[in-house]
Amino acid sequence: MKKFLGLSVIVLLAATLALPVGAQDFGAAFVVFDQVSVNGMVNFESVTLDQPGWLVIHADDGAGAPGNTLGTLYMESGTYPDVWVPIDMTLATPLVFAMIHKDDNEIGTFEFGAKDGADAPVEVNGEPVMASFNIAAIQVYDQLITSGQFAISSVTSPQNGWLAIHADESGTPGEVLGYTAVNDGTTADLSVTLSDAVTPIVWPVLHADTGIAGEFEFGTVEGADEAISVGNQNAALPIWTAPHVRVYDQPLGTSNELWFSQVLLDQSGWLVIHADDGGAPGEVLGYSSVLPVGLSTGVVVVIEPSTIGNTVWAMLHYDTGTAATYEFGEVDGADMPVLDAGGSPVMDSLVILPPEQPVDGEAEALESFTSETVSLTEWGIVMPASIPAGKVVFTVTNDGTVPHNFEIEGNGVEQGFETDLAPGETRTLEIELSPGTYRIYCPVSDHAESGMEFELTVTG
């Protein structure tokens, strides 16, 4: 009998750090556990800061101490539950370190290591506010299977082992479709040859190599090469190989937009947002630009204003009428919903949440900020076309496959990142913007000329 039990269950660790707050002290606390990291994100149960600063993840330097910076998250003062920090999976190590850093130079720009003395770690009695924790990580995205090949961006394993791709069996990993060896640490750019029994959902799973070294024996030798478990969680995740949209409850952006991390299509089409009509999709509230075959990331859909707490439906439609013209409901038979193997529309519901706010702390200070999400892709910049004046925190993600950057110019402003963003990397940039028109572009090579240029209107 196949078992998905952790052969190497790492002891669950809660790292909780709290500091006394005095006139000159920086008060900070966070709770983090050993965990499986999926697609470059690590999770904190809660984070508390009594003044603005940075939550920073560092790799292991090979000697059990903090090394390279893997990811940063700028945070205003307050208490935040369920915090996610993006990390650079190409540099990830099985042991990582969480630290709190100051933001004491250029506000909203992480300068530790780049500018002497800037954004140093918070210390108490000469020791940094820090905790180490263990991760196993798989960075892989929804994909159509071409020539039987399944692509994985990277895996981070606490030991030598295997990455096996399993068929879906009632929502859990089933039959092994293919596998490849991985080493202790991070292995990048993997490809696994799959058998013909590919299911609409497959499960990449990290396995230990505990039987005969170099032989994958899971399912054939009792107890051999079981799934690796970290923090009481198997290193496994579901990946779609058929049309799908990943849906999360979320607040509306400042331009009434919703954001979707991954949309997979087997022919060009649309992501359409429908109102709820008695538990089923109703009228159309908005739709994306036409999406190509394959995976689209960072898809934005602007919808009609919707009340907080309302349910809406995200549904995939094919582009079957006039190319790039959405005609569903207007032209008979055009742009019909995408159906799954069972003949049901590919769709899911989500709830419009209230704007994110800290549980307590300086809520008034946060209200003076506008937060905007920016997606950099080949070859475009996805973000709202109009935002209000004032302080703006741009959360910029490189959703492409090559390095990109983010630059904003106009009305006396010329600001961007000092170094390029690697694929999958996310950074924040805080800027004070007055009313007017601004040019946003990618300054890397000829990326702007290739379409990565955007005009932003800031209203008074």
Model confidence pLDDT, tens digit, residues 185-230: 999 999 999 998 899 999 999 999 998 999 999 999 999 999 999 9
Specify if 442 maps to a domain. Answer: yes
Mark whether 96 and 207 lie in a shared domain: no
Whether residue 11 has pLDDT greater than 60: no
d(CA 381, CA 336): 28
Specify if 34 maps to a domain. Answer: yes
CATH of residue 225's domain is 2.60.40
CATH of residue 117's domain is 2.60.40.10
Give the ranges where 324-447 is alpha helix by DSSP (H).
363-367
Q: Give the torsion sign (CA, 198, 203, 206, 210).
A: negative
Q: Which of 1-10, 145-154, 176-185, 345-354 has the lowest mean pLDDT?
A: 1-10
Whether residue 413 has pLDDT greater than 50: yes
Specify if 307 maps to a domain. Answer: yes
Q: Which of 158-167, 200-209, 255-264, 313-322 has the lowest mean pLDDT?
A: 255-264
d(CA 27, CA 51): 7
Whether residue 20 has pLDDT greater than 50: no
Q: Which of 84, 110, 136 finishes a domain? A: 136
Place of tokens 């690590």: 42
d(CA 361, CA 21): 14
Please give the pLDDT value at position 356. Answer: 62
Please give the pLDDT value at position 144. Answer: 97
Q: Which of 186-195, 203-212, 274-283, 366-375 has the lowest mean pLDDT?
A: 366-375
Assess contact for 187 and 139: CB atoms under 8 A.
no
Assess contact for 336 and 50: CB atoms under 8 A.
no
Could you tell me the pLDDT band of residue 369, with boundaries at 50, 70 and 90?
low
Specify if 358 maps to a domain. Answer: no
In the chain, the percentage of residues whose pLDDT exceeds 90 is 56
For the question of whether the overall pTM of this predicted structure is more than 0.85, the answer is: no
- Which letter does DSSP use for residue 359 in this model? S
Residue among 132, 97, 104, 129 nearest 118 (CA): 104
The per-residue b/e assignment along 83-105, b for 16 or more CB within 10 angstroms, e otherwise, is: bebbbbbbbbbbbbbbbbbbbeb
Please give the pLDDT value at position 9. Answer: 24
Number of domains in the chain: 4
Mark whether 106 and 150 lie in a shared domain: no
Please give the pLDDT value at position 123. Answer: 80
Could you tell me the pLDDT band of residue 26, with boundaries at 50, 70 and 90?
low
d(CA 253, CA 439): 21
Mark whether 131 and 42 lie in a shared domain: yes
Mark whether 132 and 18 lie in a shared domain: yes
Mark whether 84 and 111 lie in a shared domain: yes
Could you tell me the pLDDT band of residue 360, with boundaries at 50, 70 and 90?
very low
Residues spanned by the domain of 401: 363-459
Q: Which of 209, 240, 271 finishes a domain? A: 240
Q: Which of 91-100, 309-318, 422-431 has the lowest mean pLDDT?
A: 422-431
Whether residue 365 has pLDDT greater than 50: no
Q: Is 360 exposed, middle or buried (0-12, 13-18, 19+ CB in 10 A)?
A: exposed
What's the one-letter identity of residue 208? A
Specify if 9 maps to a domain. Answer: no
Q: Cis bond leading into 270, ω under 30°?
A: no
Mark whether 255 and 335 lie in a shared domain: yes
CATH of residue 445's domain is 2.60.40.420
Among the ranges 70-84, 196-210, 380-394, which has the highest mean pLDDT value? 196-210
Average pLDDT value for residue range 259-283 = 95
Average pLDDT value for residue range 36-53 = 88
Torsion angle, CA of 107/113/119/121, rounded to 10 degrees? 150
Specify if 4 maps to a domain. Answer: no
Q: Which of 85, 102, 136 finishes a domain? A: 136
Place of tokens 């159906």: 339
Instruction: Tell me the pLDDT of the chain averaged across its residues.
Output: 86
Place of tokens 């010329």: 414
Could you tell me the pLDDT band of residue 362, with boundaries at 50, 70 and 90?
very low
Q: Which of 114-118, 158-162, 219-223, 300-304 has the lowest mean pLDDT?
A: 114-118
Whether residue 415 has pLDDT greater than 80: yes
d(CA 275, CA 314): 9
Mark whether 117 and 172 lie in a shared domain: no
Whether residue 48 has pLDDT greater than 50: yes
Mark whether 255 and 329 lie in a shared domain: yes
Mark whether 30 and 127 lie in a shared domain: yes
Average pLDDT value for residue range 236-257 = 92
Specify if 407 maps to a domain. Answer: yes
Mark whether 30 and 125 lie in a shared domain: yes
Assess contact for 128 and 77: CB atoms under 8 A.
no
Mark whether 166 and 55 lie in a shared domain: no
Specify if 7 maps to a domain. Answer: no
Mark whether 59 and 89 lie in a shared domain: yes
